[in-house]
Chains A and B, each alone.
Chain A
Amino acid sequence: MNLTIKVNGEDWALDVAPADVLLDVLRERIGVKSPKIGCERGDCGSCTVIMDGRTVRSCLILAVEADGHEITTVEGISYDGMSELQTLFIQNNSFQCGFCAPGIVLSATELLDNNPNPTRHDVQEALAGNLCRCTGYEPIIDAVLAAGEGGSE
């Protein structure tokens, strides 16, 4: 089936099977590797991408469902250098192995887009579906809160 999709600002036209999953098409056909293959059932958040402005689980979307839609990954939000949020993640030493990082960057980006000055609870709720097995989350939450305070100034 024909799939026309915009990924990080670039138009793609591909022939895909109905059973092809968006995550696999992004990684293997389009070459965008930041969405990770984790639990593959929507629980871990490592495959998170932004679709038309909202985070979704690319492991639970058929590629054909994304026909005509726009996908943004970490690669797409870093074209002009790192975002303030990404810089704050580095300053706070937020990640260790980094496997969860692309999903968390995108979930936090969605949160700050909709709620520029979130509370700690807001951040916890927004990131609850992105599992991190290294850090205990505190340095991640601290960085998002710092980005929020910066956004409100």
Chain B
Amino acid sequence: MVIANEFDYRRPATLAEATDLLANHSGSVRVLAGGTDLVAWLRDDAIAPDLVVDIKNVPGLHDLKMNGDTLHLGALVTFTDLIESDVVKERAPLLAEMAETVASQGIRNRATMVGNICSAVPSCDAGPVLLVYDTTVHLTGPDGDRSVDINDWFIGLRQTARTEDEVVTHLTIALRQHGGVYVKLMRYGGEDLAQAAVGIIAYPDHEYRVAFGAVAPTPIRSIRIEDALRGKPLDDALVAEAAAMVRDEISPITDIRASAEYRVRMTEVMLKRGLVAVTERLAGTGPAYGTRLI
């Protein structure tokens, strides 16, 4: 089995060269980073670009650093980079907890978090976590630089706010004291796409962010559940109230990995466990990051 489609391949050495290639080409174009989705899609004939622009030689896109209290994550930061980063461990361990659940070591070494949200499949692990972090996506294109609120990023199944001639350069996350949790349901531990996923952040004074993966055409945030939790100390009744809202907030399908009803029921359980864990983590207790809750 080979890639049947013929295409041109370019590996620009600067961001300007990359944006120029994307702006001035004929036919369709794809941006290549880790390639773990893109090359699989090429092999499947799911996409047939005329040009592939490999951004791996563009300087600066590997940066993973703090600017004050803002976390800067370059477009080429891999899931392994997140797992091995001291900055992530100290300031945003939720990112590592999520990254550890992605595929396998050989994929994590190559796959990028930005590529994950550009592919934008419903089960993309980065989606729920970047949603609860109120992330900003930074792009550059023929009309210059722009930024997109992550809440406006996912616009449909495998569709994002990025246009074909734009490159995501980096993500930024404004960090303050928080506890986080990513709960991912898989058919077996180790290597699988999510059957359902829940990402939650707890901030001081009973403020929460809640998002779901693999239970709608895109990763989705639940403002209604966040509003129901706001300002109230978490107790069993409040956890049950939030869990009871799940069914109306998500719209899972039945497919080879799980039935819709199973996804609803398990998402309720995962939200309950996640809310307890994230509240404990904010207080400095609770299960260590990386502990599987389901």
Secondary structure at chain A's binding surface: helix, strand, loop or mixed?
A: mixed
Nearest neighbor of A49 in chain B, beta-carbon distance:
B106
Any chain B CB within 8 A of the CB of A65?
A: yes
Nearest CB of chain A from residue B256's CB, rounded to whole Å: 14
Contact (Cβ within 8 A) A61 B39: yes
Secondary structure at chain B's binding surface: helix, strand, loop or mixed?
A: loop
Any chain B CB within 8 A of the CB of A54?
A: yes
- Which residues of chain B come closer than 8 Å to A24, judged between CB atoms? 2
- Which residues of chain A come closer than 8 Å to B36, judged between CB atoms? 42, 57, 60
In the bound assembly, the distance between CA atoms of A129 and B192 in angstroms comes to 9
Nearest CB of chain B from residue A62's CB, rounded to whole Å: 6
Interface residues on B, range: 20 to 34
- Which residues of chain A come closer than 8 Å to B262, judged between CB atoms? none
Any chain B CB within 8 A of the CB of A77?
A: no
Contact (Cβ within 8 A) B56 A129: no
Nearest CB of chain B from residue A127's CB, rounded to whole Å: 8
Any chain A CB within 8 A of the CB of B233?
A: no
Contact (Cβ within 8 A) B189 A41: no
Contact (Cβ within 8 A) A55 B2: no
Contact (Cβ within 8 A) B52 A18: yes
Say which one of B6-14, B62-70, B161-169, B263-271 lies at the interface with A.
B6-14
Contact (Cβ within 8 A) B104 A128: yes
Nearest neighbor of A47 in chain B, beta-carbon distance:
B106
Contact (Cβ within 8 A) B9 A129: no
Contact (Cβ within 8 A) A19 B7: yes
In this complex, the member of B36, B44, B106 whose beta carbon has the largest number of chain A beta carbons within 10 angstroms is B106
In the bound assembly, the distance between CA atoms of A129 and B106 in angstroms comes to 7
Any chain A CB within 8 A of the CB of B272?
A: no
CB-CB contacts below 8 Å: B91-121 with A: 100, 103-107, 109-110
Contact (Cβ within 8 A) A48 B106: yes
Per-residue A-contact encoding for B250-287, CB less than 8 Å = 1, 0 else? 00000000000000000000000000000000000000
In the bound assembly, the distance between CA atoms of A125 and B189 in angstroms comes to 9
Nearest CB of chain B from residue A51's CB, rounded to whole Å: 8
Our pick among A62, A110, A128 for the contact of B190 (Cβ within 8 Å) is: A128
Contact (Cβ within 8 A) B35 A129: no
Can you list 26 A-B pairs with a CB-CB distance of less than 8 A?
A1-B9, A18-B9, A18-B52, A19-B3, A19-B4, A19-B42, A20-B2, A20-B3, A21-B43, A40-B43, A42-B36, A42-B107, A48-B106, A56-B109, A57-B36, A61-B39, A62-B9, A65-B32, A65-B54, A107-B105, A110-B105, A125-B100, A125-B105, A125-B190, A129-B190, A130-B104
Chain B interface residues (CB < 8 Å from chain A): 1-9, 11, 32, 35-36, 39-40, 42-44, 52, 54, 56, 80, 100, 103-107, 109-110, 189-191
